[in-house]
Amino acid sequence: MLDINDPKIRSLLLRFDFGLEKEALRITKDGSFSKTPHPFPDDKTVVRDFCENQTEINTGVHDSEEGALEELEQHEKKVRQTLLNLPQPEYLWPFSNPPYIKDEDDIPIANFTGPLYDKTVYRDYLAKMYGKYKMTFSGIHVNLSFAEELIDRHIELTGTSKSRREVKDDIYLDLAKNLVRDGWIINVLLSASPVLDGSFLERGVKGRTEFLGMASVRCSELGYWNHFVPVFNYQSVSAYADGIRNYISEGLITSQTEIYYPVRLKPKGANSLETLVEKGVNHIELRNVDLNPYAYAGLDIRDLKFIKLLTAYELCQEPHDMTRERQIKSVINFKNSAHYNIETDRIMNADDEFVPIKDASVALIDRIWAFYEAAGLLDDEAKGILSYQKDKLVTPGRRYAERVYDEYKDDFFARGLKTSLNLP
C-alpha cells in the first residue's frame, strides 16, 4: 500500500504508462463473417486473435491515456480504410457480441503457417474446449504500469530490506488483489453488449434479437470463463506462477494464456510464466472492457481516465486478504456485475453482504471521490470523470448497455450492420 500522505507519492500517483489491445470482427457488406485471409500480414500492430477475421490492434506503450487512445484511433482508421479498399469491401463489427453466425463452419480459425503453426493448433484446442461461438466475443484490454519512481519512494518511506525487484512485485501483487476485489465496477460502467443475434443461441436463426438479462454477455456467467474458478497465490510472483503451473499440470489448462480472468499480471517481453518469474511484473492487464459502439475505436477517453483513477486509488488501499473464499466471491461479483438490472441484481460488498449493484457502485465511486478530495488531487478533470461515471448509475438510460438495448433491441443484426456501414 502506497502512502498517499507523502507529497512525492501524491505527485507521482497518477503517472501511468498505457498500452491498448482492441479486438473486432471483419464482416462483409451483408454482415457475413469475412472469409478472406488476414489483410495485414506484415503489420505487427494489427494481428489476429482467435478467428482469421478477428483483428487485434496492439498499440505501443504511452505515458498518457491520450497518447494510447490516439494511436489506437490511428490504427483503427488505417484498418477501416484498408478494408474498404479490398476488392470486396469489408467493415469492422463495432460490438462485443458477434453478428449473425450461420454455423460453426462460418467461424474461420486463424490460419497460421510455418513456425507459427502451433498458434493454429492451440486455437483448434480452444474451439474444442470452449466452442467456437464464445471465441467470437471481442473486447479491449487495458495495460497499465505505474511510475517507477513510486517504487524508490516507497522503499525510502518503509525502509524495507527487500530488493527493488521484490518491492515492485509486491506492489503489483497487492494492486492485483485490490482490483480483483473492486474491478467489477468496470463491468457496471463500461458494459455495452446486452443484446445478441439469435443465431448465437440457435444455429442458423437469423433476424431474431435475444436479450438474456445481461449488460455484457462476454463478462457475465454466460461468457468467456474457464470451466473452473482459478484461485491465485499472491504471496509472491513465484507462488503466483506456481499456482498457474499446477492448473497446467492438472490438465485444467494448457498454458498461462488460457487463464480467462479479468485481471492479469504480465511481464515485459514474452508472456510466459518463465519470463514473469525471471523478470518480475511489468504491468497489469484489465480484460473486461466491452467495445463501445459510441466511440470511434471502441473506447471513450473518459472511461480510460476512470480506469486510471480506479487503479491509482487501489494502489493506496490496504491490500485485501484474498483467501480462496474471497477470490471465488470476487469472481461471482465480476459475473453478477455484468447483469443488466443494477437496481435489483446484487453483488457482495466488502462486508460480505449482498447489496444491489447500483448501491455498491455508487458507494465505490463516492469512496474514490473522497480519496482524491482528501489527497488534494480532485481537480476539475477528476471531478468530471467521476461525475460522468456516477451519472451513468443515477440517471436512467445513461449506461452504454441501456443505450445499446434501447437502440438495437428490435433488430440487433440489421441495425448493427447499418452502424458498421455508417448508414443512417
Identify the pLDDT of residue 1. 86
pLDDT tens across 258-297, in order?
A: 999 999 999 999 899 999 999 999 999 999 999 999 999 9
pLDDT for the residue numbered 6: 97
Examine residue 424 and state whether it is found in any structural domain, yes or no.
no
**Phi, psi of 259, rounded to the nearest 5 degrees:** -80, 105
CATH number at residue 248: 3.30.590.20
Q: What is the pLDDT of residues 46-101, one digit of tens each?
A: 999 999 999 999 999 999 999 999 999 999 999 999 999 999 999 999 999 999 99
Q: Is residue 409 part of a domain?
A: yes
How many distinct structural domains can be found in the chain? 1
Question: What pLDDT is recorded for position 290?
Answer: 98
What gap in Å lies between CA 293 and CA 67, rounded to an integer?
A: 21
The answer to whether 51 touches 107, Cβ cutoff 8 Å, is yes
Q: What is the pTM of this model?
A: 0.97
In a domain, 1, yes or no: no
> Is position 319 within any domain?
yes
pLDDT score, position 320: 86
Residues with Cβ within 8 Å of 272's Cβ and at least 6 positions away in sequence, in order, are 256
pLDDT of 235: 96
Residue appearing with cell numbers 513456425: 115
The range of the structural domain enclosing residue 371 comes to 7-418
Q: What is the pLDDT of residue 350?
A: 74
pLDDT averaged per 10 residues, the chain (length 424): 95 98 97 96 94 97 98 98 97 98 93 92 93 96 97 95 96 98 97 97 90 98 95 97 96 94 95 96 98 97 98 96 93 98 92 92 97 98 98 97 98 96 83
Question: Has residue 314 been placed in a domain?
Answer: yes
Residue 26 located in a structural domain = yes
Residue 226 covered by a domain: yes
Q: Decide if 129 is inside a domain.
A: yes
How far apart CA 8 and CA 405 sit, in angstroms, is 45
